């Protein structure tokens, strides 16, 4: 086992309490950061009842990368941490997919780490990102025009990724290792400003620190504050969408009857739209929300439509839903929308549940469950015969929802517009038999 030494006074002690009793897979590159993390966790193993593993990913980029793997293996033997290693051919993968080398390396690295995590039954992947990495990340995100989510940088705990060293400076970690007489591997590619992160690390942050010596800590504090505010906005947006957002088999929507603060509205637009949105598109959608009516082509397969009290996101090529023959005693499913359960019952009308009706079975001979078609007609209770399209307009069904309204019909005659009303022909008459129809939505109506 590794001999323990006191930590330098200048280094902030990482908080390991959040992972007490967990099984951790340490991403071990051999650099100072990951070596320090492995040593710190090895020292804390007994106190926090940790089960540790380590994984090294050789990206196949540098000629000396096998030496990194050998170093990591030896370190883990000394720390008594089970070790696993994988060698990847990142350059070949990047060429094949026409992907940047850094992007491909990151993607493949995390894919392999998660494979090891699953094989070992680990709870979390422990990453050695530190405060300087956080400052670089925040500056890169801001340079791309990120909002508060990007300004928050890396989170200490995000999904299955745990970053306990975000409160430590790089220099503190190297001082810590020097104090223990421990070596680490240096990646020569980190000293070349051939990518945005290296350029910020080598040129931007050193210049900033000449004028603002504490700028790295200040940026880290800003990221922490941005993360808190981002979480707050996410929670408020989630609550808004839960009560004012919806989805049918054909479209999604947000309620604008009482529009929220624009910060929440903009997040709701991103959450409700089934396509990725650019900053310009979010601006255009926000402007559309301020209009009484309008339509916006988002591109790809979706357009947005402002009508009534909602903004809808509608597929340009709506899903084709085939009609289903209505079972006289059983369940009939309309894929993407819901199902109707039919059963014999007493001839007593139901008046307080729009999703249940008691109808005259004689009128339902040959009935199907479907959505609307051109030329459909209905004779509502107490009214004359009319086009279904006019009926839906009179019932104030927003245009994007009309194609997603399920119907029970015989030929072109509609006998139940589910959720709205029945036809005179299907209504109960004295001394007739009766069937009860109950509609259940296939999908949740909240976003």
For 145-160, give the DSSP string: T--HHHHT-S-SEETT
* Tokens linked to 339: 């199902």
% the chain with pLDDT above 70: 96
Identify the pLDDT of residue 10: 56
Instruction: Determine how many CB atoms are found less than 10 A away from the CB of residue 66.
Output: 13
Identify the pLDDT of residue 6: 41
SS3 category, 325? strand
Q: How many Cα atoms sit within 13 Å of 154 on the Cβ side?
A: 21
Phi, psi of 380 (to 5 degrees): -65, 160
Region(s) of the chain under CATH 3.40.50.620: 17-227
Residues 143-153 pLDDT 10s: 999 999 999 99
Identify the pLDDT of residue 444: 52
User: Pick from 409, 408, 412: which is nearest to 437 by CA?
Assistant: 408
Element (H, E) at 436: strand 435-441
The CATH fold of domain 17-227: Rossmann fold (3.40.50)
**CB 24, CB 192: distance < 8 Å:** no
The CATH fold of domain 248-315: 3.30.465
Spans of the chain below 50 pLDDT: 1-9
* Cα separation, 138 vs 136, whole angstroms: 6
**CB 170, CB 32: distance < 8 Å:** yes
Identify the pLDDT of residue 337: 86
Residues 130-175 pLDDT 10s: 999 999 999 999 999 999 999 999 999 999 999 999 999 999 999 9
Region(s) of the chain under CATH 3.30.465: 248-315
């Amino acid at each position: 086992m590794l001999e323990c030494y006191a930590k330098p006074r200048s280094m902030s002690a990482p908080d390991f309490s959040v992972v007490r009793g967990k099984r951790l897979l340490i991403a071990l590159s051999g650099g100072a950061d990951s070596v320090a993390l492995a040593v710190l966790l090895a020292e804390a193993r007994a106190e926090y009842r940790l089960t540790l593993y380590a994984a090294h990913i050789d990206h196949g980029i540098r000629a000396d990368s096998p030496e990194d793997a050998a170093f990591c293996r030896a370190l883990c033997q000394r720390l008594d941490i089970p070790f696993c290693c994988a060698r990847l051919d990142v350059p070949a993968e990047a060429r094949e997919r026409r992907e940047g080398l850094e992007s491909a390396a990151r993607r493949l690295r995390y894919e392999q780490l998660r494979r090891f995590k699953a094989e070992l039954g680990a709870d979390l992947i422990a990453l050695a990102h530190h405060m300087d990495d956080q400052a670089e990340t925040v500056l890169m995100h801001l340079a791309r025009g990120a909002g508060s989510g990007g300004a928050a940088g890396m989170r200490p705990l995000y999904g299955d990724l745990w970053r306990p060293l975000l409160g430590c400076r790089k220099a503190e970690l190297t001082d810590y290792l020097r104090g223990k007489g421990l070596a680490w591997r240096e990646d020569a590619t980190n000293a070349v400003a051939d990518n945005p992160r290296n350029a910020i690390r080598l040129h931007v942050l050193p210049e900033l620190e000449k004028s603002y010596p504490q700028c790295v800590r200040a940026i880290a504090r800003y990221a922490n504050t941005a993360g808190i505010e981002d979480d707050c906005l996410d929670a408020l947006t989630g609550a808004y969408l839960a009560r004012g957002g919806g989805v049918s088999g054909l479209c999604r929507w947000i309620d604008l009857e009482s529009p929220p603060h624009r910060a929440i509205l903009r997040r709701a637009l991103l959450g409700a739209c089934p396509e990725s949105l650019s900053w310009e598109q979010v601006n255009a959608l926000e402007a559309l929300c301020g209009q009484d009516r309008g339509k916006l082509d988002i591109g790809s397969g979706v357009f947005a439509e402002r009508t009534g009290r909602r903004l809808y996101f509608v597929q340009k090529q709506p899903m084709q839903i085939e009609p289903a023959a209505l079972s006289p005693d059983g369940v009939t499913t309309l894929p993407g929308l819901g199902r109707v359960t039919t059963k014999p019952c007493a001839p007593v009308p139901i008046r307080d549940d729009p999703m249940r009706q008691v109808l005259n079975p004689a009128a339902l001979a040959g009935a199907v469950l479907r959505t609307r078609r051109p030329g459909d007609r209905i004779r509502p209770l107490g009214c004359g015969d009319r086009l279904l399209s006019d009926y839906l307009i009179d019932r104030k069904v927003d245009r994007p929802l009309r194609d997603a309204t399920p119907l029970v019909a015989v030929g072109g005659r509609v006998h139940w517009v589910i959720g709205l009303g029945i036809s005179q022909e299907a209504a109960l008459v004295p001394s007739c038999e009766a069937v009860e129809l109950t509609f259940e939505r296939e999908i949740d109506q909240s976003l």
